Amino acid sequence: MDIAAAALAGDRRALSRLLSWVENGTVAGHAALAQLFPQTGEAHVVGITGAPGAGKSTLVNQLAREIRERGQKLAIVAVDPTSPYSGGALLGDRLRMRALSTDTGVFMRSMASRGDAGGMAHATRDVVSVLDAVGYPLILVETVGAGQSQVEVACMAHTVVLVEAPGMGDDIQALKAGLMEIADIIVVNKADKPEARQTVRALQSVRPGMRSEGHHRVSVREEKQVAAEVATGWEVPILQTSALENRGLEELLAALEAHRDFLKESGQWRARLQENARAEVESWLQRHLLALLADEVGEARLTAVVDTVRRRENDPASAAQELLAAILAAAGGAR
């Protein structure tokens, strides 16, 4: 039996090995992905993002436990080189974690560190595809780090959960990081702390349309936000959890399910599959073209053309067109 078939049949070691191949972009990994691709598109992919230390890992861990208690399977992908998952233990929660790590209904994977954010996004998307194909109906993807990787997660996730925590100063971290726009669900974690209420209020004041806000203030930003909500039809809920005290998890799970159902019923699930399919095809097309450029035209010619742009003898668009013509000529000649 080949590795993809073994992974499909539930062999966890085969799955681990396959994920490594895929992560490293090996030829065998690509072949397996191609074989598994027809089975993808079913999983609900949830991105969990937010400032360092907000409690994302603890929350994911508790969510996983709650989901397992309901008898549902899930996979967890940690896009963070410092993540504790691979060691099999989360600080302060070793026992529970051990219980999870011997449970075959949950699969955890830490992405190895990548030099560039783009490479990481590619590798993560492929890992998620494999987990989707082998039948995990829910995939939680935890990311940390500066803006870019978080925004990329949003592109691959159906639902983005933004985790905020109180006591990080008066500011809302996500506002500074420009993350409010990508959130489908906002969670104020560490709700066991008294300052949490202040954080919730601060979030509500930048989040109009919330029922709990008694009056209606109108600013340009609020109008834009309302317009966005009308356009998508989804009102972003602000929830409170305490991963430490195990509170608010049921409400969070209910919100995840509600958002998935909303996406499916409104047709946005299908629209997103279409968008993702297009983005991936275009991204591969770009890679293939760049590979052709390197193979058929060569670095020396590329450098020469780039030099003409630097010297302002040529403009970038014309230079690209010239190179494309050279690729087409070379590829045509090869046929």
> Is 49 near ligand GTP (CB under 6 A)?
no
Q: Are 111 and 79 in contact (CB under 8 A)?
A: yes
In the window 80-119, what residues touch ligand GTP (CB under 6 A)? 80, 92
**Residue of minimal CB distance from Mg ion?**
57
List the 44-50 sheet strands across, edge first. Answer: 106-110, 74-79, 138-143, 44-50, 159-164, 185-188, 238-240
In the window 55-114, what residues touch Mg ion (CB under 5 A)? 56-57
What number of other Cβ atoms are within 10 A of residue 226's Cβ?
15
DSSP strands (E only) in the chain: 44-50, 74-79, 106-110, 138-143, 159-164, 185-188, 238-240
Indicate the residue type of 110: S
Residues 6+ apart with CB under 8 A from 161: 46, 47, 48, 49, 183, 184, 185, 186, 187, 252, 256
> Is 260 near ligand GTP (CB under 6 A)?
no
| Nearest alpha carbon to residue 107 among 80, 135, 84 | 135
Smallest gap from residue 137 Cβ to ligand GTP (A): 23
The partner in contact with residue 236, picked from ligand GTP, Mg ion, none with C-beta cut-offs of 5 to 8 angstroms by kind, is none
**Residue of minimal CB distance from ligand GTP?**
55
> Is 143 near ligand GTP (CB under 6 A)?
no
Question: Is the Cβ of residue 82 or residue 318 nearer to ligand GTP in the bound state?
Answer: 82
Site pattern 8..47 for Mg ion (x: CB under 5 A) = ----------------------------------------
The partner in contact with residue 173, picked from ligand GTP, Mg ion, none with C-beta cut-offs of 5 to 8 angstroms by kind, is none
Find the binder of ligand GTP among 3, 43, 57, 237 (CB under 6 A): 57
Contacts with ligand GTP, residue ranges (CB under 6 A): 52-58, 80, 92, 144, 189-190, 192-193, 242-244
